[in-house]
Structures are given as C-alpha cells and as structure tokens.
Chains A and B, each alone.
Chain A
C-alpha cells in the first residue's frame, strides 16, 4: 500500500453562533486519498461536505472552527502550518474549484491574470510561461478561442466556460490534489455533462488526485473511484464506487440511490379522455418582456390540460416555461392569443379576472422558503385563501386548516408555527396546501421539487400523486428535470427558446425517434453506469450540430 496523499483523521468542525452557543456540523470524519485517485463526498445540503473539503485546505469559514482531528498532506500536518505556508499549500499543493464560478471570479480583473496569478506572484513561472501554460489548459478543457479568452473579464463569458476557466486556474500550478465543489450544479443540464467530461479528461490525463463534492450520486458514478456518503456531518458509508452503486449497505445510501435522477422504468399511460372539453386550453399565445414587450419569451404556444391530468412542461433556463405558467395564471399579459378554462376565455390579467376564476387555477412556487411569508403563522397562510375565495368564517377556516394539514401529512399543531420553524420539505408541503386551500381545478407547480434534496423531492412527488387520486385535480408541472417530469406526467411539452418543440403523451415523446432537443435532454440524464459519460458526450455533440442546423 503506497503512502496516502491526503489523510484525514477524526475531524470535528464546530460552529459558534452569535450568542456563543456551539454545535458540531461535522463529526468524526476520517478518510484517505491515494495518489491518482478521485474520491467523491456525497450528501444533501447541510451534510457538511463543503466544510470538509475546505478543511482539507486548512480553511474554515468565519464562525466555524476545526475542533478536533488532523489533516495530513503527505507527511505534513496541514492544520499546524503558518499562514504563509498555508498560502503556499493552497496555491500549489491543493487547489479548489468553487460551485459558482460566476461569483468566485474577481469581476475587476481579467480572467487570464487571475488564472496565472499564483505562479506569477510566487515566481515559479514567468508571466510568459504561465500564459502559455494557461492557453494549453484552455485547449485541454475544450474552451473556445483559447488564445484570447484570457484577456476577457469574467462577465464577458458564459457560466459553463467560467466553470472550466476556474478549473484551469486550479490546475496551473500542477497541484497534488484538486478539490471540485459541486462544479456543475449551477449549470444547465445539457451543459453539465460537457463540463463534467472536460473535468474527467483533465483529471485522467494528468493522473490527478481529486475530491469531488456533490449531492448527485449519478454524476459521481462517472468520475469517482471511491465514494464517501455523508449525512448531518457524519460518515454513513465509505466504499468503492462499484460497490456503492451495485450493493449499497446503509439504508440512507439505498434511499439516495432510489431517489437518484435516473429515468423511471415505468411511465404513465395517457389518460383516456372522456369529456369533449379540456380543462385548460392555451391557444396561440405569444408573450414578451421589456417596455415594448418585444423581448419575446413565448411564441405561438398551444397546450391543453385535461381534468385530472398532469402535464409536464420541460425546458432549460430561458426556455419560457415559467413565463407560460405566469401567462396562464394571469401574472403576465400575453401580447396575443388566449387562455380558456372549461371553454370560457379567461381575462388576460389577475386584476381583471373574477375571484371564482382565480380560485380554480392556483400557483405553487419553486422556493418554499420565499413563497411563504416568514411573519405569518401557518394558520393565517392557509386560511386566507379559504376566506378570500370561499368566504369561510374564522372558525370554519380554522377547522379546515387542520384537515388540510393532515391531508399534506403535517401535524395539526403546526397551525401556530411560522414558516422558518419548519424544514424545507415541510415548507413545500405548506406551499402545496395553500394552493389546495382554494379547492382549485389546476395547480401550476413551478419547479417545486428542484430546490429540495432528492429524497424529500421524491416524497413531495408521491404526495402530489396521492392528492390527484383523491381530489382529481390537474397539475401543470414545470421543471428542467426530464427524469422527474417523466415520473409524474401523463403528457409532456418540451420547450426551447420560447416554443414548444414537441408535445404529446410521455411514452411517445420520450421514445425515439424524438425531436433532437428532446433527445439532447434525455441524453443529459446521467445513467448509473460508469462508462455512460463518454458515449453521452459524443452523442451530445452530434445533437447540438443537428439543432444548430434547425435553428438556422
């Protein structure tokens, strides 16, 4: 057994809050990284994965303290180093790629100067050498215009490119260990695999050791040799990637596996339509932003939703999917076209619609923590729609709020709680319950699971389905995640650049031959096998070429 490159022993990290009370956010972590090995730290938000990776560099965020344990790089103790030695270590020994490159680059400095900064100021390379090396790295990372991209400022290049430029910055001094902290999470799904592929190639070609931090099990399967599963700051399971994927031991790992973003085996059969009239019909809607509404966000949209049906609307950021939801709910006036509910044309804006119409279409927002007023008790949040739409008395409303809380599997005592006192999943249930309080026929769900941890998201999807079975409501489910949408919908519409490029029953739309863009989205869903990435990238490039052909 060779000497490990990095060795972490019994590490605790403690947070001290403003009042001086302390609690451990990371407890008793031990692991090793061998030379040339990639280890993944997997966990949901709050699992301590970023804290651990920062601790490997001898860094803890303000308010956090490494209270126990040791970190050794080779035979040197990282935690006992002086500040100037730490600076040397961070610049050259261990380097870091942050989650949001857009926020992590210095906006007032050219990219190239930032990439070459450390070797130049430490004198390990001349400015010229460093620039040549940087250009090489840009090429290796498949960045466009490698010769001149360094002379730009961060706001002048795209998010996916910045993420790769940050990797170049981390690689320039040939570090012994590279730490990647959720490096693809902020990116669009179809960009994600391209960047992931660049990273994998870079690590592989340079025989690097790396720590890869993420919440997404299916992604690490592509890149890691070992996986360390974390929950609430503690180690849950640690093993080789193959073993974790094929034979997870711990219940939590099994749950993570079950909830991972992979395509479902079974998909819903389309509803048999009995009524002649759809619940909701969107006809030829075009809408735009800006003072003259000339920044077109939606073009010629036609869509129907039947009673009791779930229609998934899928697309990447900027595809117009949220705008469509806003037009239907009356938050945005379309510049042409109309929306019909039960055959009656709806007025274009909320202000013009009668309450009875408003009641029937409810909107559930993505981020439950900002969708619920932190200063209102759940009782008020949930009773308001009942009193507003249905004219219930205070007492009637309170009784019904209790029933509603039970219906979304929350304890009835929560009626007196404020939203910040609940967990993320509980808040999302309240968010749904508020929509239900109006007794609507349609709920527009805008990315309601994408801010949640995978296991919690799974539970919310189950809740949606059981509510539909009981109450017969329809959902319009807006998301960027094709795996989620195919689990829950009967029909889906795929949106790109403000248009619906393909729509129909799930099984038809998602079964080849489908539209190139749908294929691209499908192609971007990671599969739980270790050789998936290479094939996916090749296919992706062909699809992009085909799509460019269509756009032109």
Chain B
C-alpha cells in the first residue's frame, strides 16, 4: 500500500468511528429507559401530556429517522434547547466550550513537553537517581484520584496561604492577568495527573528504542551522546511518543470534568455533569458528542502523524 492509501484508509476508519460514536451517543441517550417526555414533565406527567410532547419532539418517528434528523441538526450546529430552562444550548456550549478549551489547551501546552522531557531524561539513565525519583513520583501520582492534588493545592495555596482563589469563576471583564490567577490551580492540578501517565509511557517507549541493536551500533560507532539521543533515538521514538500523548488525552478529558466541578469552573465538563444530574438529555448528547469527537479526531491525527513519521511507510521498497 502506498502512503496515500494508508492515510485514506485511516481517514475512513476515523469517519466510521465518529459515526459509531454518534450512534451510541444517540442510542444511549434516547433509547434506554428514561423517556425524554417523562423527563421534561417530571412529576406532572399525564398520559395525554406525554403523548403531546412526544409528538412535538418527533419521538413517535421511527428510530433511524430520528437519528438522521438529530445527526443532521448536530452537524449544522442546531443542538436544541435545554429541557430544564429552554435555553438554546449552542449559546451556552460556545461560551463554556471556550473556557474549557482554554483550560485544556493550557494544560496540554505545559504538560506535554514537560512530560516528554521528563520521560526522556528518565530513560537516558535507567536505574539512575533521577530516573528513580521520576518513576517513583509518577507511580504515586498515577494512583492519586484526580481530586486529591486539587484539594491539597486549594488547601495550601488558597486557604492557608491565600495566594490564589479557591473558586475559578470567570467574568466577561477578565483581563489576561485575571485569567492567569484563576487558572493556575486548576491547570496545575490537571497537569499532575496526565503528566504522571505520560512520563511513564514516554519513558518505556524511549527505553525500548534505546535498548535496540541500532542504538548499540551507534554507540560502538562513537556517536556522541547528544547526537545519539537527538538524531538516532528520538526519530525512532517519535511514533510511539505521539501515540502516548494521544492516549493520555483520555485522562485529560476525564480530568477536565472532575477539575471543573471541583473549582466551579464554568466549562463544558461541569455543564455535562450538571446535565446528567438533571437528566437534561439534549445537553448530555451535545457535550458527549463534542468530547468524543475531539478524542477520536485527536487520536486519528496522532495516528496519521506517526504513519508519516515512519520511513518504512514513507519510502516503499
């Protein structure tokens, strides 16, 4: 297969996965018991009212028709209205989505390079003192529940020292400096969890490259250490590292949900948790689709990058 064919295949799989995700989100939110009409009406559901609402929402149409209507609407950005307060969901999603994006991207920008560097440093001298410190701290950190680091950070920096706010509410008037103040604690807490996973996986990916005969050969050739790591080891570890990063975005997503709730941060994660608590189906659907699609797309991007980075695929025999 040529490079283009492989990439095309990966793209098709990506699109198919997205469709599968949408089917499951739809099925999970609409087919399972807990009918929307009942959810809207709550205690005051009489059979007539239920029938009326079902009709208005199109719930009496066949399933596949409802699915396609829903999917087309979703793609066009028509996400419906909240069952709880009738507000247009898209408006809220745009506002909160931006906040979450700022939180997640800031965390990724800080955590990913840091994790890859730490993983590399640990892998270059396995068993050395730095490696042992990094691996044992990261082993402890992956065992921490997402909220532990956050709770400790808040206790120390917000309550005891009173340097930073314990609640991360956002006001429209916020300047850059306000954003920084508000984000420091959530970003730090979020970074810790994904950092730990990423450091461990990067380390083992780089270690397996470093123990290859090709690296031994480069040592025996007299390649200086810096060049050995940067020119010989790193290009071969590139593919695995990209996959490590993509895999850890799953932790970032669940971390975002927990951290937003803990800090009362007005983002998509908290929005979704509240919607699940209130059984606000259209919001859950929209948020789940957004989170899942981003995850699928990022994984696909990672795969494509590592395919392109592999010379065995790039240059055929």
A residues with CB within 8 A of B: 54, 57, 59, 61-62, 83-84, 86-92, 95-96, 98, 100, 103-109, 117-118, 121, 152-153, 155-156, 169
Contact = CB atoms under 8 A, between A and B. Distances in A.
B224 A87 contact: yes
A92 B213 CA distance: 20
Contacts, number: 78
16 contacts: A54-B220, A59-B219, A87-B223, A90-B221, A90-B222, A91-B222, A98-B213, A98-B216, A98-B220, A121-B223, A152-B315, A153-B312, A155-B315, A156-B315, A156-B316, A156-B317
Of B211, B213, B232, most A-chain CB atoms within 10 Å: B213
A179 to B, nearest CB: 9
A96 B214 contact: no
B218 interface: yes
Contacts of B214: 103-107
Nearest to B213: A103
Nearest to B316: A156
Contacts of A153: 311-312, 315
A155 B311 contact: yes
Contact of A108 (B219, B220, B221, B235): B235
B208 to A, nearest CB: 13
Interface string B206-240: 00000111101111111111010001100110100
Nearest to A90: B222
Contact of B222 (A86, A103, A109, A152): A86
Given A89-B222, A107-B312, A121 B213 contact: no
Query: Which 10 A/B pairs are nearest by Cβ-Cβ distance?
Result: A91-B222, A90-B222, A108-B235, A104-B217, A87-B222, A103-B213, A96-B220, A104-B213, A106-B214, A153-B311
B156 to A, nearest CB: 40
B223 A96 contact: no
Contacts of B232: 106, 109
Contacts of B222: 86-92, 118
B87 to A, nearest CB: 53
Contacts of A152: 315
Given A87-B223, A96-B221, A109-B231, A104 B311 contact: no
B233 to A, nearest CB: 9
Contact of A155 (B220, B227, B317): B317
A363 to B, nearest CB: 32
A109 B314 CA distance: 12
Interface string B294-317: 000000000000000001100111
Interface of B is mostly: helix
A96 B315 contact: no
Contact of B224 (A100, A103, A121, A156): A121
A59 B211 CA distance: 15
Contacts of B220: 54, 57, 59, 90, 95-96, 98
B221 A117 contact: yes
Nearest to B224: A87
Interface of B: 211-214, 216-225, 227, 231-232, 235-236, 238, 311-312, 315-317
Nearest to A156: B317
A83 B217 CA distance: 16
A295 B236 CA distance: 32
Of B218, B221, B231, most A-chain CB atoms within 10 Å: B221
Nearest to B225: A83
A100 B231 CA distance: 21
Nearest to B218: A106
A88 B224 CA distance: 9
Given A106-B217, A109-B235, A153-B315, 6 more contacts: A91-B223, A92-B222, A95-B221, A98-B217, A152-B315, A156-B317
Contacts of A106: 214, 217-218, 232, 235-236
Nearest to B228: A87
B227 to A, nearest CB: 7
A83 B224 CA distance: 9
Of A57, A92, A117, A152, most B-chain CB atoms within 10 Å: A117
Nearest to B313: A155
Contact of B236 (A83, A108, A121, A155): A108
B223 A103 contact: no
A103 B218 CA distance: 12
Contacts of A121: 223-224, 227
Given A84-B224, A87-B223, A121-B224, A155 B312 contact: yes
B42 to A, nearest CB: 57
Contacts of B212: 103
Nearest to B227: A121
Contacts of A98: 213, 216-217, 220
A105 B217 CA distance: 8
Nearest to B217: A104
B216 to A, nearest CB: 7
Contacts of A169: 221
A106 B224 CA distance: 15
A105 B219 CA distance: 12
A145 to B, nearest CB: 14
A405 B212 CA distance: 40
Nearest to A108: B235
B223 A118 contact: yes
B217 to A, nearest CB: 4
A359 to B, nearest CB: 43
A96 B311 CA distance: 25
Contacts of A59: 219-220
A328 B33 CA distance: 58
A104 B311 CA distance: 16
A224 B225 CA distance: 34
B35 to A, nearest CB: 47
A177 to B, nearest CB: 13
Nearest to B315: A153
Of B217, B223, B238, B312, most A-chain CB atoms within 10 Å: B217
Nearest to B235: A108
B223 A117 contact: yes
A216 B146 CA distance: 60
Of A87, A95, A121, A169, most B-chain CB atoms within 10 Å: A87
Nearest to B232: A106
A423 B211 CA distance: 27
B64 to A, nearest CB: 33
A215 B311 CA distance: 34
B269 to A, nearest CB: 39
Contacts of B236: 106-108
Contacts of A54: 220
A57 B235 CA distance: 26
Nearest to B215: A106
A118 B231 CA distance: 13
Nearest to B219: A59
Nearest to A106: B214
A96 B217 contact: yes
Contacts of A61: 216
A57 B217 CA distance: 12
A314 B131 CA distance: 51
Contacts of A87: 222-224
A83 B225 CA distance: 9
A408 to B, nearest CB: 36
A432 B161 CA distance: 75
A61 B103 CA distance: 46
Nearest to A166: B217
Contact of B311 (A62, A100, A108, A118): A108
Nearest to B231: A109
A152 B316 CA distance: 10
Contact of B213 (A57, A88, A100, A108): A100
A107 B224 contact: no
Nearest to A169: B221
